[in-house]
Structure 1
């Protein structure tokens, strides 16, 4: 970054995280700065890589993907694959939304979405556990999401 984010940049980012479609005039009014300044700051945040993209927040329940689970995976080093290769294979499974290589007792943390817990079970049993390099797994179904950022 060419400069540290100031309070206006931070407030602008928060507003854009809430609604990336909000127009410049509305942002200008909320932040109390001229529209040209808002436009310039957004452009700069994009150029500096602070804003990577503008996206949407789907309603997963309405998409029939209302069940979320987190899966912990132990990597099997005898598989002949690297941990990163295993993670990349897992990332290709339909229904997998996040794959993290983590430190600690477990090696990977995976976030999945599906219509039901039964469907998540199918992902784990029929897809995830079939990947070479996947050892033990533990699946935790989420009851409710209190906070989730994009």
Structure 2
């Protein structure tokens, strides 16, 4: 496989992203290639780190985590912590699903899932803003998710 993926590899990845529980026989039929080839390609994709793990896509609404928000935060270098250390502390908080160090006017982008907007407010006020190294924040609550890849 090397550094490049061919069209079959990309189709296989798309199928697995759609349903990582799909069995080898069904994938073989969909892709029009032998089962042994499908098995070999999946094994190589895992070995090369292209597939890092097989996972699930939870229904967050049914888990009472139906409110999603994105928080922009500024890093305060006077804290004595590195930006990476601050990001790692944020990542440890409950209901935090993603933490990105970003370029531009803001330094961090944080994805939160919680039962309600009020709960997200508590996270921001009581948890996030209490972390040493966090300056200003802006919170944007999502009305609806149109597309989200796992």
TM-score, scaled to structure 1: 0.98
Correspondences of 1:74-89 after superposition (within 5 Å) = 74-89=74-89
1:44-65 deviations in Å (ceiling 9; x for gaps): 1001110000000000000000
Identify the residue that residue 142 of structure 1 maps to in structure 2. 142
Q: Is it true that 1:60 corresponds to 2:60 in the alignment?
A: yes
- 1:32 offset after TM fit, Å? 0.4
- Describe the SS at the equivalent of 1:78: helix
Structure 1 gaps of 5+ residues are none
Identify the residue that residue 30 of structure 1 maps to in structure 2. 30
Structure 2 gaps of 5+ residues are none
Q: Which aligned segments of 4 or more residues in structure 1 are displaced greater than 3 angstroms?
A: none
Q: CA–CA distance in 2 between the matches of 1:87 and 1:40? A: 38
1:19-68 deviations in Å (ceiling 9; x for gaps): 00000000000000010100000001001110000000000000000000
Q: CA–CA distance in 1 between the matches of 2:78 and 2:3? A: 46
- 1:2 offset after TM fit, Å? 1.7
- 1:3 offset after TM fit, Å? 4.2
Aligned-residue RMSD, C-alpha: 0.7
- Describe the SS at the equivalent of 1:49: coil
- Residue 107 and residue 63 in structure 1: after superposition, are their counterparts in 2 closer, same or farther (change >3 A)? same
TM-score, scaled to structure 2: 0.98
Q: Is it true that 1:113 corresponds to 2:107 in the alignment?
A: no
- 1:4 offset after TM fit, Å? 1.1
- Describe the SS at the equivalent of 2:71: strand
